[in-house]
Structures are given as structure tokens and as C-alpha cells.
Structure 1
């Protein structure tokens, strides 16, 4: 028995993962248009909507995917396995650049990394019996944890938090909430998580820094990250992480809000009534988020409670619009190029994270290198930088436009790959 897919939800997921790939793969991080950058701290840009949209969709899909609302050993093991697979995919992205094998360098090392990537992808995305699947992913997960804390120099500073890690954690807890509670209980949990997080961040003094604050690097969430995951945090911040420990708690609320909308979609109400309820709920959430913003500012890195409501509200409004156009009015012909993204999100997110690492490992002689330049211009550069600087940038006067073209070419490339997977009925499930 399977439940009927809701195309509008697949479309929202497809657009979201497409945007993830777009914003994560500019030609140059020094040349990005403002809407494709995250807010420096407080605030919310279009790019800041992408990650919470994915978590919202993840939550909304749970009641559509879990056929029996019963928590037993089998269902718990299935949820835990999927969560660990998602987390392990994210961990491997962090470990990829740190892999060292028998002092190999250059292309032998790159080939070895690609072989390891293939093995890891097969373990985490392959179709095995449940017990085998769980044993494989649990073993791999503990290998990553062991390496990170083993004292081996190469892995001393590998990043442990991340986007996929947060997605896996949110999926685990949101699924359990769905199986153990009803809608009223889920609303109460959302309230407790958001109010509790606000109180924690604004009332509890920060050791070593003094009174509670929401500043970069001195807030309680950052202090906890640095205490528990020292040296294993985001390389650009060093002492805190945008996908850190404490800020994952309100992210669970983002997933549960999606869960509520998913249960609405799965209900027996008329389609028009579902659409109206989604529109009303989305509007209320956005307004609530803006009001709370006055006291607890919108902030993606801290995943503030106002940010949860605001972004979940926009996700609900987008879904309501797609639901009206696709599932109510029947305008479906335009959706196929997006659906190919929506039905295979994890494989493309994982591989699109590996590809730039591979391209950067392939070294090309720098055409502008000259001897005696006092090392100001490197003799060799990565293939990605080479293609951007010498194949794309010369055709555009605006570096930011050239950088965007590279990102769009990534979208085009992965669209072709995903279209092939779709035609061959290849759907990679974690």
C-alpha cells in the first residue's frame, strides 16, 4: 500500500533543492549577487529561506510517507536508519577533503577518494534489507565519529555539524512526534520549543561572556558549540556553527510545522478548503514571525523562533499557491523539469557537494603565471577556478553575472542527470 503523491509538494521540494544547488555553487564566492547570499547576521534574504523550506517539506512529507501511525520496534528502526543515513551523508562531505591514503597525492589520491565516495554512496543510498541497512549505516557512522575524535591529525578539525546532519536529526524527532502525538500535542510541542529556545537564548547568562546576548560568537548557542565540538566547527567561524547544537532545537519546530501542514494535505477535507487553510496559516505565521522579530530578531545562524515562524509561513504560502495551481486547477504540464529534482533530492545534494571538491582537486597550469612573481600568482589553479576565469568570465563584464552563469550551468548539468534518473526509474532513497 502506498499513498498518492501530492505533486505540489514534490514541486516545492524540487524548487528548494534546485535553489540549494544554485546558492551553494557560485563560480566565485567573492562575486555573488546579494539575494543569493545569506544575511550577514540578523535579517532574512531569499537564500535564507532555502534551508528552512527543505526542513518544512521534510516534515510535510512524513504523514504522506509513513503508512501506519504506530511506533514499534520496526518503525523506530526504520526511522533511526534513515536519520543516520542522512547524517552520515553530511559527515562524509566534511571528511572528503581530509582523506589521506598512504601518502598519495595528486590524481592517485583523487581516484582513491572517488572510489571511497562510490562505496559510501552505495552503503548510504543502496537498497538493502532493513537489518543489513541499519548495520551498515551504524558502522559507518561510528567510523566517522571515531576518526573525528581519534587524534589523527588529518581529522582533528573536520566539521561535524552541517546541513544534512541537521536534516537527519530533525527527521528523526519529527517522525517520532508524528507517531506519538496528535495535532494538539504537536502544536504544544512547537510552542514549548520556540518559547523555551527564546527564553534560553535571552535569559541565561553566557559563561565567559556575561549576560545573555544574541551577538555573533558570544551567544549561548555559540558557547555550547565551542564547548562540545571544539575544533570541529564551521571553518569560517571556528568557535560556533550555523548548524550547531542548540539551534537545532528550534529547527525541529520547523519540521513539526511542516508536519501539521502535511497532515492537513492528508486529511479528507475538500481540496479548496485545504488550500484556504494553508493560505490562512501561512499568512498568520509570517505575521507572527515579524512581530516576534521585534524582540527576537530573524536570524538563520541562530535559527531564532521568529525565523522559524517567518520561514515556515512563507513555505506554507508557496505550497498553498502550488497546491491551488497544480492539485486544484490541474496545471501540471510545466512541472516535469522540477519534479525530477523533487523526487531525487538527497542524491543530487550529496553529489553536487562532491563535484566542486573534485573539480578543485584537478589542477591546471595558470595561463597568467609567470616566473619571478614572488608567488603572488599561483602556478596551478583548480579546474573550477580555471573554467570560471578563462572560459566564462571573459564573456561577461560583470564578475557576479559570470559567477551566476556557473551556478546556472550546474543547475543545467544536474537537471540532465536527474532527468536520466527519472526516465530510468532510478530513485535514490535514504
Structure 2
């Protein structure tokens, strides 16, 4: 039986949580353009749409904790995880890399010089593989009888999360971002296309124009392989007269309003992995604690700590930002996911 007393072999509360997240995704996808207040935040801030991605990553982590509770052969389990991640990665590249033609466009295939390497499914694939490797290889034989022993058994997981978070923060706030230039994508096919310069010359900035996450993507992926549609920050007050909706540029709009930016970039994916690893720890609670009250106590306690810490980060200057997948965003969305999982667990 599952932890919820079902004989179906599934964690019913996780299925309910997954279903609610799918409903939320449909709502924000279908009505986000009509109600910009529920669409993704243009930059700093948190809206309904911003919960969807971390909720899915959290659920991947919880599921991994249940799937890999017993591992007979680490090599075979690793191979299986690698194959699954590879399939998901290729599917993501196929769906979001530019293979599918657009409406009224009868072309097919993709220009390899323009293919987008990162995307939603690609990010999930990376997070899944990283969390699976940690679960398969980075745990000991410690018997779990308390919260302390649970932490000790998976101490290397927590160390991995701490290292990833430290690397993310050091790169985001420590890398120097020089001036850079881009070709206006709205004029790229016309004779009026011109190179636009963005002035930066700073470090530690988290604005749309001069953050290190964008610089890393431009340097490693290349601007031609990044997200092709209007960047998320084109809906900010600086770039849209109808903010938080899309709209015409203000007369004094900065030069970077149409500059490319990938919302599923490389550096932000580091913290997406952390979200998945956090979800994995919630799965461990199900595996090692059979008492319902113990599970709820651990889930509610840790979720509350995550949410409080996230808001403390926000007020201290590490703003909630989905595009950068900031530390405050990671903690708050993980905490909210844990609270919803606990609520579903109680109800069903």
C-alpha cells in the first residue's frame, strides 16, 4: 500500500498535487494573456504562473525518492536514469528547439545555426538526472529513526545543494559583466537592422540588461541559440506602455528591451536542480517515516522554514525572480510546494 493507504501502488496525494499543477498550468497558459496579473512576472515578483515550473521540479524530486528507495544495482539504475533524461532532453529540443513549423509556414526541419538548446523539458531533464545521480550514489546505510538520522543519511545531498547554491550565488554576484551588443531581432530581416550596444561594465547586478546569467548564456550558448520570442522583461514598465502586459515601447525605453534572454538558461538551471533535490528530501520522509503525524510535522516545519527564509532573502536584496531562479524564489516556491503536498496528503 502507498503512504495514503491506497492499494494502487501510487502516492495519491502526489497525484492530486500533480493534477492541480496541470490545472494551474492550463489556467495561466490560456488566461495569462487576458489577465497579465497571473502571467509570469515581468522580472522581480511572484505570480501564479511562476509556481508551475518549480512545482513540477519538486514533484520530480519527490517521485525519485519513492522510485529509488531500494536500489539493487547502482550501475543499472544510473544507466536507466541517463536514458530517461536523454529522451526527455531530445524531446525538449525537438519541441522547443525550432523543429516544428509555425502557422502559415510550410517549412520543416531546423537551422542548426538557430536551434535552441535549453527549454522547459531540457531543464527538467537536467534536474532529474542530477537528482537521480545523487539519490543513487550519495547516500549511506544509516538507519533512520529520527530527523537527525534522516539528515545524516542524506547529508551528501544537503552538501550538494549547498555547493550548487554557493556556485550560483558566486557566479551571479561575482562575475563581471562587460558592455555587450546584439542585433535587433525585430529588424533582423530588414536592411535597417543594426547593432545595439548595452552598457554594463559592472558585477553583482540583477537587472534585465546586466545580470551574469544572461552573460553566461550569451557566451556559452550564443545569442542565436537562445529563446527567440520577446524576452520576459519586455513587459516591464521600462519596456512596455501596457505593463505588465506586452505593449508598445515607451519613448524613453532602454536599448536592451528587445535583447535576447533565455528564461531556462544555464545558470538558472543550477537552482532548478536544487529545487528537485529539495523535493527529493520530501520523498525521503514518505519512505522512512510511517506515522502520518511525523510526516506532516517534517513537511510543514521544513516548508515553513523555506518560505520564511525566502522572504527574508527578498527583503535583504535577493529579490524573488523566476527568470534568474533566485535563491528567494527557490525557497518560497519549494516551501509552497511542500505545504500544498501536505494539504493534499491530509485531504486524500
- Give the TM bin, normalised by the shorter chain: 0.7 to 0.9
Q: Does 1:210 align with 2:232?
A: no
Structure-2 change in CA distance of 1:12 and 1:196 (3 Å): same
Choose which of 6, 11, 36 in structure 2 pairs with 1:6.
11
> 1:71 touches 1:180 (CA, 8 Å); kept in 2?
no
Offset, 1:83 = 0.4
The superposition leaves residues 322-369 of structure 1 with CA deviations (integer Å, 9 ceiling, x where unpaired) of: 11111xxxxxxxxxxxxxxxxxxxxxxxxxxxxxxxxxxxxxxxxxxx
User: Which residue of the partner structure matches residue 261 of structure 1?
Assistant: 282
Choose which of 314, 317, 330 in structure 1 pairs with 2:336.
314
Choose which of 108, 111, 120 in structure 2 pairs with 1:163.
120
TM (norm. structure 1) is 0.60
User: Which residue of the partner structure matches residue 80 of structure 1?
Assistant: 82
- Cα separation, 1, equivalents of 2:295 and 2:74: 31
Q: Does 1:234 align with 2:227?
A: yes
Unaligned runs of 5+ in 1: 114-146, 149-153, 327-430
User: Which residue of the partner structure matches residue 24 of structure 2?
Assistant: 19
Residues 235-250 of structure 1 aligned to structure 2 (within 5 Å): 235=228, 236-237=230-231, 239-250=260-271
Residues 384-423 of structure 1 aligned to structure 2 (within 5 Å): none
Residues 185-224 of structure 1 aligned to structure 2 (within 5 Å): 185-208=156-179, 209-212=200-203, 213-224=205-216
Q: Higher helix fraction: Structure 1 or Structure 2?
A: 1
Offset, 1:270 = 0.2
Offset, 1:32 = 2.2
- Cα separation, 2, equivalents of 1:106 and 1:46: 32
> 2:264 touches 2:323 (CA, 8 Å); kept in 1?
yes
Offset, 1:98 = 4.8
Unaligned runs of 5+ in 2: 3-7, 140-153, 180-199, 232-258
TM (norm. structure 2) is 0.73
- Cα separation, 1, equivalents of 2:61 and 2:71: 15
> 2:85 touches 2:129 (CA, 8 Å); kept in 1?
yes
Residues 5-154 of structure 1 aligned to structure 2 (within 5 Å): 5-26=10-31, 31-66=33-68, 68-69=70-71, 72-95=74-97, 98-99=100-101, 109=106, 154=111
Offset, 1:295 = 2.5
> 2:98 touches 2:116 (CA, 8 Å); kept in 1?
no
Q: Does 1:225 align with 2:247?
A: no
Q: How many residues align?
A: 278
Larger RCO (CA within 8 A; separation ≥ 6): 1
> 2:74 touches 2:137 (CA, 8 Å); kept in 1?
no
> 1:70 touches 1:179 (CA, 8 Å); kept in 2?
no
Structure-2 change in CA distance of 1:263 and 1:94 (3 Å): same
- Cα separation, 2, equivalents of 1:106 and 1:253: 41
- Cα separation, 2, equivalents of 1:106 and 1:320: 47
Taking only aligned residues, the RMSD between alpha carbons, in angstroms, comes to 2.5
Structure-2 change in CA distance of 1:258 and 1:162 (3 Å): same
- Cα separation, 2, equivalents of 1:70 and 1:313: 32
The superposition leaves residues 193-244 of structure 1 with CA deviations (integer Å, 9 ceiling, x where unpaired) of: 2233122211221233322211113211101111122201112235321100
> 2:71 touches 2:77 (CA, 8 Å); kept in 1?
no
Secondary structure of residue in 2 paired with 1:34: coil
Offset, 1:305 = 1.1
Structure-2 change in CA distance of 1:287 and 1:71 (3 Å): farther
- Cα separation, 2, equivalents of 1:218 and 1:169: 26
Offset, 1:5 = 1.4
- Cα separation, 1, equivalents of 2:164 and 2:104: 48
- Cα separation, 2, equivalents of 1:67 and 1:318: 23
Secondary structure of residue in 1 paired with 2:288: coil
The structure whose Rg is larger is 1
Offset, 1:70 = 5.5
Offset, 1:274 = 0.3
Structure-2 change in CA distance of 1:286 and 1:189 (3 Å): same
